[in-house]
């Protein structure tokens, strides 16, 4: 490397550092350090993968939802998750990777998704516990990402968080209905909270002194708060909600600490977290296998779409299809109708 280019790179780095320091957004065409780009790709891909894998534990209950209203809500939610995956893959693509590449890394186990989705949904109440606790933890993590230094990620998070808050309220409302229902329903709700509480706390990642990426991510303003700070915030939010639900949180050490102004809570079993992360959780194999299977069994469909596009590349768009103009309108209408369906 010559002295001239080194100076140039130093200049770019200074501009980047100044922009981050001034809370300005880094945009796709801006210069950025390679490590910043790599960190963002890793984090955004993992986030997108989590949305996609996260469809499975909930979709597991679509065909068994106990009322048509709940079924509609659940279908809309799983659909939203696929949509979130699409936003996030698009946002990641602004950094110079392709969705195909990222999916390939997911399918081959080279990139991760959130460990929470390796737990099974064993009863209907799990759908509520996921909404309340898992989406609640995700929102606690993601709201600060709306101010993340990388513009496309921050903007994706604004959209994602709005919908996630909606899901979280629906999950809470589902649990409330069960908690106030028959004794069997109440028991189902309590059992689900017992199983999902600790894994939800693990969603914030390892303790601050063991978190490999935290310090750098905070310096770059990708992260705004430490894992332990966010976990504490989440516990403080959940305790009164659990009381309002009439459900107990499964932690004998959980109590208000007047001096700290926070709830103290018991020790997390990090060995379980590590095991799940390493692929040895209850559903790791099944989740990846289903993802791979959907991709492999869909290969002929994607090939057909590509072949068709190739054959019809030089033709004007559907000249003999009188409905084309109308169809454009009906696509634009979709989100409104969805909101109606889930309202």
Shortest Cβ distance from residue 92 to other proteins (Å)? 13
Taking the least distance from each CB to other proteins, the nearer of 4 and 317 is 317
What distance separates the 2 farthest-apart alpha carbons in the chain? Answer: 76
CB nearer to other proteins: give 26 or 178: 178
Q: How far is the CB of 202 from other proteins (least distance, A)?
A: 23
* Binding region for other proteins (CB under 8 A): 52, 55-56, 59, 62-72, 75-76, 78-79, 82-83, 85-86, 89, 124, 174, 177-178, 181-182, 184-185, 290, 293-295, 297-308, 311-312, 320, 323, 326-327, 330-331, 333-334, 337-338, 340-341
> Least distance (Å) from other proteins to the CB of residue 181?
6
Bridge partners of residue 264, in order along the sequence: 255
Nearer to other proteins, 34 or 320 (CB): 320
Minimum Å gap between C-beta 60 and other proteins is: 9
Beta carbons within 10 angstroms of residue 37's beta carbon: 16
In terms of CB distance, is 194 or 290 closer to other proteins?
Answer: 290
Nearer to other proteins by C-beta: 55 or 130?
Answer: 55
Nearest C-alpha neighbor of 341 from the set 29, 69, 64: 69
Min separation Cβ 131 and other proteins, Å: 14
- Please say whether the beta carbons of 132 and 234 come within 8 A: no
CA dist., res. 205 & res. 80, Å (int) = 24
Token representation of residue 243: 């009381």
Closer Cβ to other proteins, 224 or 295, answer by number:
295
What is the separation, in whole angstroms, between the first and last Cα of the chain? 60
C-alpha closest to that of 200 among 252, 264, 128, 147: 128
The closest of 80, 263, 265, 47 to 168, measured between CA atoms, is: 80
Q: Are 129 and 175 in contact (CB under 8 A)?
A: yes
Closest distance of CB 99 from other proteins, Å: 8
CB of 249 to other proteins, least distance (A): 23
Scanning 94-213, the segments in alpha helix (DSSP H) are 99-107, 125-129, 135-142, 151-179, 183-202
Is 158 or 305 the residue whose CB approaches other proteins more closely?
A: 305
């Amino acid at each position: 490397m010559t002295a001239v280019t080194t100076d140039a790179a130093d200049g770019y780095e200074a501009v980047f550092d100044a922009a981050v320091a001034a809370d300005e957004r880094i945009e796709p065409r801006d210069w950025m350090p390679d490590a910043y780009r790599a960190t963002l790709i890793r984090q955004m891909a993992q986030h997108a993968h989590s949305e996609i894998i996260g469809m499975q534990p909930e979709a597991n209950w679509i065909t068994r939802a106990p009322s048509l209203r709940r079924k509609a809500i659940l279908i809309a939610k799983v659909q939203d998750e696929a949509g979130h995956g699409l936003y996030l893959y698009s946002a990641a693509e602004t950094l110079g990777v392709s969705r195909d590449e990222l999916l390939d890394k997911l399918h081959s186990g080279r990139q991760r998704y959130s460990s929470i989705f390796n737990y099974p949904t064993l009863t209907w109440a799990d759908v509520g516990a996921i909404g309340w606790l898992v989406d609640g933890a995700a929102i606690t993590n993601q709201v600060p990402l709306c101010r993340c230094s990388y513009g496309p990620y921050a903007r994706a998070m604004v959209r994602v968080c709005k919908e996630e808050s909606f899901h979280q309220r629906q999950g809470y409302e589902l649990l409330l209905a069960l908690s106030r229902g028959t004794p069997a329903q109440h028991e189902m709700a309590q059992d689900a909270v017992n199983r999902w509480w600790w894994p939800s706390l693990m969603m914030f990642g390892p303790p601050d002194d063991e978190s490999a990426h935290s310090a750098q991510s905070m310096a770059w303003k990708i992260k705004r708060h430490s894992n332990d700070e966010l976990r504490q915030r989440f516990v403080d939010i959940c305790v009164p909600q659990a009381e309002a639900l009439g459900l107990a949180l499964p932690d004998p050490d959980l109590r208000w600490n007047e001096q700290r102004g926070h709830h103290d809570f018991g020790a997390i079993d990090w060995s379980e977290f590590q095991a799940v992360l390493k692929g040895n959780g209850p559903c790791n194999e099944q989740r990846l296998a289903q993802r791979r299977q959907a991709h492999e069994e869909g290969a002929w469909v994607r090939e057909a779409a590509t072949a068709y596009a190739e054959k019809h590349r030089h033709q004007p768009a559907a000249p003999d299809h009188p409905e084309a103009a109308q169809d454009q309108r009906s696509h634009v209408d979709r989100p409104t109708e969805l909101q109606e369906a889930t309202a």
